[in-house]
């Protein structure tokens, strides 16, 4: 059971829910980091009294230092500050709740320090998954997924003796990744082309940050999760299947070689996978009301519509192609989603810009982090230019 965490990305949706779990279970906070949101960060620092607080830039760091001058809290900034937070000696677990590729360096720092990583930053695994997983093996860092689908799969795999996907002979046949379908489920590509920021931010089942909510509307989120699942569980893409399940009650499933399918179910609430990542291999009492199956809507399952949601189709192609194509996909998507969130492009333009980047930036083998970062930069330039 985790005693002290470093929380990277404390002011976002996952960060705040992680602090709820810390409050409920008396987990101490050794370090907090955030990009902006100085007011909220100050409030969190006053409540949890970490040893270190780190922000990205100097100006907000100086402001925060002034505000926290009555407390014995060190304020750091920049990449160095983030790395120090990620490798703080007293933290046994590092929760990575940073949005986007920006999570890569601090995640690597936490891995090199041999921490347990409660991973909520899927972009890192999508772009540099093989390198990240290899580093985790080398430094003995345990990666426990926080993404609800991957936590569900991880939970279903407990007790499975032979998780090898390759060579054939492992007990796992397929991973079934459930997908709510997002706010535009059932619409054609034409009908969703002109949807706005406000339309896309209305998710039917989950309350989340803005970037991921848009990714849920394009189904890019499910595509990124497919790649994340391949990396985490060492599965080839053809053995990860996306299943539309509108109710978000089943959070994902594992099909075994004997035909058994195990599912993890629960009320859609991120605090469950966060709590499990902190307490694994144990479970602790949750203060949340349990799922009431007798008052659940009927559970339905359907295949995804790849015509209507080209982002998912492109992600499936990148999953098969491998190399830096996943980094190009992700970088182009991050850049396109940020244009959409600034209301500079309509919804239908997101998949077009991602497709343009995938055409323009050739895929290379992803041998080093530099290969990945180059692909990411070229993809962003292609979308912005
Ligand atoms: Mg998810």
Give the integer Cα–Cα distance in Å for 339 and 62: 30
By the 8 A CB rule, do 231 and 130 touch? yes
How much is the mean pLDDT over the chain?
Answer: 95
Q: CA–CA separation, 103 vs 111, rounded Å?
A: 12
From ligand 1's centre to the CA of 178, what distance in Å? 9
Residue 273 Cα to ligand 1 midpoint, Å, equals 10
Q: What is the DSSP string of 344-355?
A: SS-TTHHHHHHH
Q: Report the range of poorest mean pLDDT among 89-93, 167-171, 200-204.
A: 167-171
Q: How far apart are CA 385 and CA 228, in angstroms?
A: 28
- Between the CA of 88 and the centroid of ligand 1 the distance, in Å, is 28
Distance 41 CA to ligand 1 centre (A): 25
DSSP string for residues in 57-110? SHHHHHHHHHHTTTS--EEEEHHHHHHHHHT-TT-SEEEE---SGGGHHHHHHH
Ligand 1 center–CA 251 separation, angstroms:
8
Q: What percent of the chain has pLDDT over 70?
A: 98
148 C-alpha to center of ligand 1: Å?
5
Q: What pTM, to 2 d.p., does this model score?
A: 0.95
pLDDT of 169 over the 70 cut? no
Angle at CA of residue 130, ends 125 and 135, nearest 5° = 95
Q: Compute the distance from residue 74 Cα to the ligand 1 centre, in Å.
A: 34
Asked whether residue 241 carries a pLDDT value surpassing 70, the answer given is: yes
CA of 221 to the centre of ligand 1 (A): 7
| pLDDT bracket for residue 159 (50, 70, 90) | confident
At 264-297, the pLDDT tens digits run 999 999 999 999 999 999 999 999 899 999 999 9
Q: Who's near 357: CB < 8 A, 6+ residues apart? A: 328, 329, 331, 332, 378, 379, 382, 383
Q: Band of the pLDDT at 95, cuts 50, 70, 90?
A: very high
CA–centroid distance, residue 285 to ligand 1 (Å) = 23
C-alpha of residue 191 to centroid of ligand 1, in Å: 25
pLDDT of 209 reads 86
Rounded percentage of the chain residues whose pLDDT exceeds 90: 91
254 has a pLDDT exceeding 60: yes
- What is the CA(225)–ligand 1 centre distance, in A? 7
User: Which runs of consecutive H residues, i.e. helices, occur in the chain?
Assistant: 13-25, 38-48, 58-67, 78-86, 104-112, 122-139, 148-156, 189-192, 197-200, 210-218, 220-233, 271-279, 310-321, 325-341, 349-360, 369-384
Residue 211: closest CA among 330, 306, 324: 330
Rounded distance from Cα 59 to ligand 1 centre (Å): 34
C-alpha distances (whole Å) from 116 to each of 13, 96, 229, 339, 350 are 21, 11, 18, 35, 35
Separation of CA 147 and ligand 1 centre (Å): 5
User: What is the per-residue pLDDT across 39-85, written as a single tens digit (0 to 9) for each?
Assistant: 999 999 999 999 999 999 999 999 999 999 999 999 999 999 999 99
Is there a contact between 194 and 315 (Cβ–Cβ < 8 Å)?
no
pLDDT of 36 over the 90 cut: no
Phi-psi region of 158 (alpha: psi -120 to 50; beta: other; left: phi over 0): beta
| pLDDT tens string 341-373 | 999 999 999 999 999 999 999 999 999 999 999
Residues comprising the chain, all counted: 385
Distance 70 CA to ligand 1 centre (A): 40
Sequence-separated (6 or more) residues with CB below 8 Å from residue 228: 122, 125, 126, 129, 145, 147, 150
Distance from residue 226's CA to the centre of ligand 1 (Å): 10
CA 145 – ligand 1 centroid, Å:
10
The stretch 222-244 carries a mean pLDDT of 96
- In the block, tokens 């998507």 appear at 333
232 CA from centroid of ligand 1 (Å): 14
Contact 144, 119 (CB under 8 A): yes
Question: CA–CA distance from 317 to each of 297, 306, 312, 329 (Å)?
Answer: 34, 12, 9, 10
Distance (angstroms) between ligand 1 centre and the Cα of 58 equals: 33
């Amino acid at each position: 059971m985790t005693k002290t965490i470093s929380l990277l990305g404390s002011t976002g949706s996952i960060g705040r829910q992680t602090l709820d779990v810390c409050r409920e279970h008396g987990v101490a906070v050794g370090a907090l980091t955030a990009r902006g949101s100085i007011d909220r960060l100050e409030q969190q620092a006053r409540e949890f009294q970490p040893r270190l607080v780190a922000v990205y830039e100097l100006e907000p760091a100086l402001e925060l230092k002034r505000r926290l001058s009555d407390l014995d809290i060190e304020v750091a900034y920049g990449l160095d500050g983030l790395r120090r937070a990620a490798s703080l000696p007293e933290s046994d677990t590092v929760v990575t709740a940073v949005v986007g590729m920006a999570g890569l360096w601090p995640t690597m720092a936490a891995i090199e320090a041999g921490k347990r990583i409660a991973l909520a930053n899927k972009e890192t695994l999508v772009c540099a998954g093989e390198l990240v997983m290899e580093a985790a093996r080398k430094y003995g860092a345990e990666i426990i997924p926080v993404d609800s689908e991957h936590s569900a799969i991880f939970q279903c795999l407990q007790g499975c003796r032979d998780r090898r996907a390759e060579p054939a002979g492992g007990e796992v046949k397929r991973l079934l990744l459930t997908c709510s379908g997002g706010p535009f489920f059932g619409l054609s590509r034409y009908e969703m082309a002109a949807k706005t920021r406000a339309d896309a931010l209305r998710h039917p089942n989950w309350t989340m940050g803005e970037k991921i909510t848009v990714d849920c509307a394009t189904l890019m989120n499910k595509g990124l999760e497919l790649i994340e699942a391949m990396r985490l569980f060492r599965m080839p893409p053809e053995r990860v299947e996306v299943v539309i399940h509108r109710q978000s009650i089943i959070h994902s499933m594992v099909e075994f070689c004997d035909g058994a399918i195990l599912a993890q179910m629960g009320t859609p609430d991120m605090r469950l996978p966060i709590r499990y990542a902190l307490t694994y291999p144990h479970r602790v009492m949750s203060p949340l009301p349990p799922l009431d199956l007798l008052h659940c809507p009927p559970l339905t399952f359907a295949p995804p519509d790849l015509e209507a949601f080209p982002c998912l189709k492109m992600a499936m192609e990148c999953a098969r192609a491998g190399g830096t194509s996943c980094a190009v996909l992700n970088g182009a998507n991050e850049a396109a989603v940020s244009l959409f969130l600034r209301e500079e492009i309509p919804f239908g333009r997101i998949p077009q810009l991602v497709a343009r980047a995938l055409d323009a930036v050739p895929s290379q083998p992803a041998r080093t982090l530099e290969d990945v970062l180059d692909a990411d930069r070229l993809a962003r330039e292609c979308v912005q230019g």
